[in-house]
Amino acid sequence: MTNPLVSELVDLLKLERLEDNLYRGQSRDIGTKFVFGGQVMGQALAAAQATVETDRHVHSLHAYFLRPGDIEAPIVYSVDRTRDGRSFSTRRVTAIQHGQPICVFASSFHIEEHGVEHQISRPEVPNPEDLEPITVPSAEVLAKLPPMMQRWLSRQVPFDVRPVYPRDELKPPKRPPYQQIWFRLIDTVEDTPLLHRALLAYASDFHLLGTATLPHGISYYHPDVQMASIDHAMWFHRPFRADEWLLYVLDSPTAQGARGLARGSIYSRDGRLVASTAQEGMIRIVGEDA
């Protein structure tokens, strides 16, 4: 692992132990106004995993985002060791900033067991090598945008992201509510399953809620659009590596009442379904009845 962007992300997911069941994580400015939800989930998962026996692996998590996080302040994670059974362990985590909870998080861990197995097949899409990575807008285009948007669009990211159906996020067309996106870390990291799960929890927050905006020709970058995650669920099915190509298959079955729902399936390159996601988020059009 030599890329500084990847090293910075890995360090972000390594928490400082303050006391039994109490951890502290730093915040990272990635160009958003508030702390990125994927960061909070990745760190909360790291805190929960630190209190579980190593033979038990996370198979599901659910996060509710209560308040926006301050990118200038660290986050304290308080872990409740809810239950340790013969096969499963459950943990609840509260993420705290400035004395107030900003996220409540629950996760379940399971020992390795054998049983029946099936999965839905991965859709046929072009290989990532045949697709173009997301590119930064030209300096001329960036100069016409607000400073915060300039920072977000020009940021360097630790993931190589290649959408099957690219779109101009500044002038998005209306299209059906589904998309497929290849992604992977831009550098290799240590072969630690706990780290790869935390990295995937982090990355799973990208593009998910945005799928609910596709039929409406709007995006996070529009000044009259307000978007924020309300909750995020994730299930881990099979082993994977975050530094190898993964396909994120996304759809949004509904949007109503200033909320949108999106779902995702994450496949390895060889077609194994490794994780599933779901998220509901706020989508408001300011000044309009939407």
pLDDT in tens, 102-143: 999 999 999 999 999 999 999 999 999 999 998 777 777 777
Q: What is the pLDDT of residues 154-201, one digit of tens each?
A: 677 899 999 999 988 888 999 999 999 999 999 999 999 999 999 999
What range does the domain containing 152 cover? 4-112+133-285
Query: Does 290 map to a domain?
Result: no
205 is catalytic: yes
279 is catalytic: yes
- Choosing from 27, 229, 252, 268, the catalytic residue is 229
What is the domain-level CATH number for residue 42?
2.40.160.210
The helix, strand and coil proportions of the chain, stated in percent and rounded to the nearest 5, come to 20, 40, 45
Query: Does 121 map to a domain?
Result: no
Q: What is the mean pLDDT of residues 66-91?
A: 97
- Choosing from 43, 107, 179, 205, the catalytic residue is 205
pTM for this model (two decimals):
0.94
Q: What is the pLDDT of residues 84-94, one digit of tens each?
A: 999 999 999 99
Query: Does 118 map to a domain?
Result: no
Contact 66, 104 (CB under 8 A): yes
Query: Does 123 map to a domain?
Result: no
What 8-state DSSP symbol labels residue 223? T
Query: Does 265 map to a domain?
Result: yes
Query: Does 107 map to a domain?
Result: yes
Query: Does 127 map to a domain?
Result: no
7 is catalytic: no
How many domains does one find in the chain? 1
What 8-state DSSP symbol labels residue 206? S
